[in-house]
Amino acid sequence: MMDPDTTRRPPVLILDDERDMCELVADVGDDMGFDTQWCDNFEDFACRYSIDLRGIFLDLAMPGMDGIEIIRFLGDNNSAAHLVLMSGHDIHLLDAARRLAEARGLKVAGVLHKPFELASLSAVYDILAMVQSPAPPQPVERAVQRFAPTAAHLGAALAAGHVVPYYQPKFNVATRQVTGAEVLARWIDPEHGMIGPDRFIPLAESEGLIEALTDCIIDQALDQCRVWRGQGKHPRIALNLSPLSLRRLDLPDSLLRKVMARGLFPDTIMIEITETALMSDYSASLDILTRLRMRRFGLSIDDFGTGYSSLKQLQNSPFTELKIDQSFIAKALTEEGSRAIVESSVQLGHRLGLKVVAEGVETEEQMEFVKLIGCEEAQGFLLGCPCTAEAFPWP
Nearer Cβ to Ca ion (16/359): 359
User: In this chain, which of 42, 125, 381, 392 binds ligand C2E, going by CB under 6 A?
Assistant: 381
Determine if 189 is a binding residue for ligand C2E (CB under 6 A). Answer: no
User: In this chain, which of 78, 120, 242, 388 binds ligand C2E, going by CB under 6 A?
Assistant: 242
- Pick the stretch among 69-77, 238-246, 311-319, 331-339 that binds ligand C2E (CB under 6 A): 238-246
Rounded Cα–Cα distance for residues 266 and 248 (Å): 18
User: Residue 158: which H helix or E strand, with range?
Assistant: helix 151-160
**DSSP bridge partners of 59:** 86
What is the smallest separation between the CB atom of 177 and ligand C2E, expressed in angstroms? 18
* Side chain identity, residue 110: G
What residues between 224 and 243 interact with Ca ion by CB under 5 A? Answer: 240
Nearer Cβ to ligand C2E (266/380): 380
Q: In this structure, are residues 314 and 350 in contact, taking their beta carbons and an 8 Å threshold?
A: no
> How many residues interact with ligand C2E (rule CB under 6 A)?
23
CA distances from 4 to 10, 28, 122, 188, 206 (A): 12, 20, 19, 18, 36
User: How many CB atoms sit inside 10 A of residue 29's CB?
Assistant: 27
Determine if 303 is a binding residue for Ca ion (CB under 5 A). Answer: yes
What is the smallest separation between the CB atom of 87 and ligand C2E, expressed in angstroms? 14
Determine if 345 is a binding residue for ligand C2E (CB under 6 A). Answer: no
* Side chain identity, residue 138: Q
Determine if 240 is a binding residue for ligand C2E (CB under 6 A). Answer: yes
User: In this chain, which of 37, 78, 120, 168 binds ligand C2E, going by CB under 6 A?
Assistant: 168
Specify the long-range contacts of residues 26-34, CB closer than 8 Å, at least 24 apart: 28/118, 28/121, 28/122, 28/125, 29/125, 32/122, 32/125, 32/126, 32/129, 33/2, 33/9, 33/129, 34/9, 34/10, 34/125, 34/128, 34/129
Q: Which parts of this chain interact with ligand C2E (CB under 6 A)?
A: 168, 184-185, 196-198, 201, 214, 217, 240-242, 272, 302-303, 326, 360-362, 379-381, 386
